[in-house]
Amino acid sequence: MQYNKLFTPGKIGNLFIKNRIVMPAMGTSLASSTGEASDEIIRYYEERAKGGCGLIITEITRVDNETGVGTPNQLCATDEYQVPRLERLAKAIHRYDSKIFLQLHHPGRQSHGRLIGGKQIVAPSPVMSSAIGEMPRELTTEEVEGLVKKFVKGAKLAQIAGIDGVELHGAHGYLIGQFLSPSTNLRTDKYGGSFSNRMRFITEIILGIKHICGKDFPISVRIDGDEFVPGGINLEEAVKMARYLESIGVDAINVSSGTYESVNAIIEPISYPQGWKRHLAKAIKAAVKVPVIACDAIKKPDFAEKLLQEDGLDFVALGRAQLADPQWGKKAIEGREEEIRPCISCLYCIEELMGIKCVKCAVNPKLGREDFYDELKVNGNNRVVAIVGGGPAGMQSAITLAERGFKPVLFEKRSVLGGSVYLGSVPPLKTKLNDFLNHLEGEMRRLGVEIRLNTVATIEEIKNLNPYAVFVAPGAEPNIPKLPGLEEGNVCTIEDILGKKVVLKDKKVIVVGSGLTGLETAEYLAETGNNVTVIEMQNKIGPGAYLPNLIDVTTRLKKHGVAMLPSHRLVKINKQGIVAENTLINSVVNMEAEAVVLSLGVKVNDAFVQSFRENFSRVLVLGDAEKPGRIGQAVQTGLDKAYTLE
């Protein structure tokens, strides 16, 4: 494709940027415990610069150690001793003619007491975030003035380290945004009330940075085009804010949306399309002359070009897209778009981070471990490796083995690749999973992997290959408990439904089990005209599901009229439906259904795996066959076992 703007130079203030690709701030928890830029975080950002990103904006960078902790192992700009490592970070980025901004941040009420030594979290006003559940203490006027100085100090430390500019995080419901928003700023002093007073905190920070660092040191401000919360910042207010920020010398506006109380507007789940909020950045660009950066769930280069061309935007922010593939820009400019490993918007990255771990990616297992995967041993010498199973673990192992010079031969019993992920792509709004599977298949074919579809991998057939190693990745089997009535003809599994072995239409259906796949199958059934009820034996729907994903699917299920009943344990199946126990009141409930669909997890087929161990000396078990899990775990095992095969 011809890119007329994406790869042209841009400018923020007096700073030239080689193209229009921005990596926005995303938490990593890869810094050292002292807040310094670790080797891991430097390499993480360096890979994105090497891959063609024009401007990298670091993760949320702490400016206050007392009340401003956002995540563990967070990058910091609080003390002079952090400067040398920040300088190393800047030099690593500059090596590839890319630029770097430090994003200065304070979480305000969107922190936790446990992160700040058990102290009470703080905010402009004592307004609790329902997403956090802790009442914040109102900052005193003197404390606010002190925080202004800490933001300014953070910017100066960045400048001393050779960082090219800073971004102030005024979006996503963090402290600066809490001062800006009428829903969270109820103060009666000079920092609250009128529009100008609500802008005072950020104004003092900006003017302080300009005074200390000079007018030529660029400042970007990230704002919400819409908070999507009652009484919060809306687009009209955001446009007013952008004009004001431009008037006091801000060099760029980075437009995002949402707070923790509207979290799916920040980190969109899989159902959200590219461009769902393009009207926000477009409206703000129409109101200001300074560069505008658009954050809009952008995944594909042609869409990025479209936003730049049609909406007049200056830069596009590609966050998770560059987690999934650090070479996004390089591949696009070289015309290798089909080789870009696509983000599937599964939220695994943020889920891992919020689980007090470091950032990970379901489709890119090298993320955050770039140093570990630094040297790929190309020593396969065309030795044959048989791979049993064409799910993500098997396909990833085939790709890595081929890159190492082995000769992978992959067996898949079905007519299509993908395993359980292929089935997972069938429910509504899950087509991004197909993008990933198509990418894996494309990479295998590009690398010359032999793929045998519709082929059951027998011991004899594999012996005929005389393989150096056998990778066993057949996936897992549906877990079907021993219950009365299973022999009835009205029982099937979600695999039967999504694999279209069983087709239900205009039926009364009960789905047993409310994991995400069960809920997504319920949505699939509801969209084909069925009257669906979901029961769950635990006391809440979606046990173990990441909340933003759960909110996404259950919101749509409610619109379809799907009933969701927690605390209901399946006891028996009969021709009329099921017998369940309401565990809250210890009563038996008879529920009518024409079909019962089981979604009760999966289990390993140990006998199948053992048969290979008994016949081959070098057997490696991958994915669900090793331990049932999610896409991220499957892809990780596929990479690791192929990477370390000796």
Q: What is the pLDDT of residues 315-359, one digit of tens each?
A: 999 999 999 999 999 999 999 999 999 999 999 999 999 887 899
Closest CA to 419 of 172, 205, 602, 233: 602
Give strand pairing partners of 620.
471
Distance CA 512, CA 551 (A): 19
Distance CA 420, CA 638 (A): 15
Is the domain of 85 the same as that of 171?
Answer: yes
Question: Tens digits of per-residue pLDDT, 28-41?
Answer: 999 999 999 999 99
Q: Assess whether pLDDT exceeds 90 at residue 556.
A: yes
Is the domain of 169 the same as that of 269?
Answer: yes
Is the domain of 193 the same as that of 297?
Answer: yes
Average pLDDT over residues 190-202: 98
150: left (phi over 0), alpha (psi -120 to 50) or beta: alpha
Is the domain of 295 the same as that of 436?
Answer: no
Q: Assess whether pLDDT exceeds 90 at residue 112.
A: yes
Out of 116-130, 220-234, 336-350, 473-487, which region has the weakest mean confidence (pLDDT)? 473-487
Average pLDDT over residues 164-179: 99
**569 CB burial (10 A radius; 0-12, 13-18, 19+):** middle
Is the domain of 179 the same as that of 228?
Answer: yes
Residues 6+ apart with CB under 8 A from 236: none
Is the domain of 591 the same as that of 447?
Answer: no
Distance CA 91, CA 447 (A): 35
Does 86 reside within a domain? Answer: yes
- What's the distance, Cα to Cα, between the start and end of the chain in Å? 41
Question: Tens digits of per-residue pLDDT, 499-537?
Answer: 999 999 999 999 999 999 999 999 999 999 999 999 999
8-state DSSP, 139:
P
> 25 near 325, Cβ under 8 Å?
no
Is the domain of 134 the same as that of 262?
Answer: yes
pLDDT for residue 354: 86
Q: Which of 44, 45, 174, 546 is catalytic?
A: 174
What domain range includes position 622? 384-476+605-643
Confidence of residue 488 (pLDDT cuts 50, 70, 90): confident
pLDDT for residue 474: 96
pLDDT for residue 495: 97
pLDDT for residue 377: 96
Does 486 reside within a domain? Answer: no
8-state DSSP, 226:
-
Q: Assess whether pLDDT exceeds 90 at residue 613.
A: yes
Cα separations (Å) of 210 from 61, 251, 375, 527, 609? Answer: 19, 11, 44, 56, 65
pLDDT for residue 489: 85
Does 124 reside within a domain? Answer: yes
Distance CA 222, CA 169 (A): 5
Is the domain of 240 the same as that of 326?
Answer: yes
Q: Assess whether pLDDT exceeds 90 at residue 202.
A: yes
For residue 617, the tally of other CB atoms under 10 A from its CB is: 8
Amino acid identity at 576? Q
Is the domain of 309 the same as that of 419?
Answer: no
Does 365 reside within a domain? Answer: no
Out of 227-236, 296-305, 482-491, 554-563, which region has the weakest mean confidence (pLDDT)? 482-491
Average pLDDT over residues 582-595: 96
Does 377 reside within a domain? Answer: no
> 202 near 128, Cβ under 8 Å?
no
> 457 near 450, Cβ under 8 Å?
no
Q: Percent of the chain, pLDDT > 70?
A: 100
Print the SS3 string covering 448-460: CCEEECCCCCCHH
The position carrying tokens 């401000």 is 221
- Tell me, yes or no, if 643 is annotated catalytic: no
Distance CA 372, CA 357 (A): 18
Positive or negative, the Cα torsion across 82, 84, 85, 89?
positive
Distance CA 567, CA 547 (A): 19
Residues 6+ apart with CB under 8 A from 414: 390, 422, 453, 454
Q: What is the pTM of this model?
A: 0.96
Is the domain of 633 the same as that of 618?
Answer: yes
Question: How many domains would you assign to the chain?
Answer: 3
Does 360 reside within a domain? Answer: no
Does 588 reside within a domain? Answer: yes
Question: What's 455's domain CATH number?
Answer: 3.40.50.720
pLDDT for residue 575: 93
Give strand pairing partners of 532.
509
Is the domain of 86 the same as that of 144?
Answer: yes
Does 508 reside within a domain? Answer: yes
Question: What's 598's domain CATH number?
Answer: 3.50.50.60
Distance CA 562, CA 82 (A): 54
Cα separations (Å) of 537 from 214, 362, 497, 546, 594? Answer: 62, 29, 21, 18, 21
Three-class SS state of 113: helix
Mean pLDDT of the residues in the chain: 97
Is the domain of 394 the same as that of 302?
Answer: no
Residues 6+ apart with CB under 8 A from 214: none
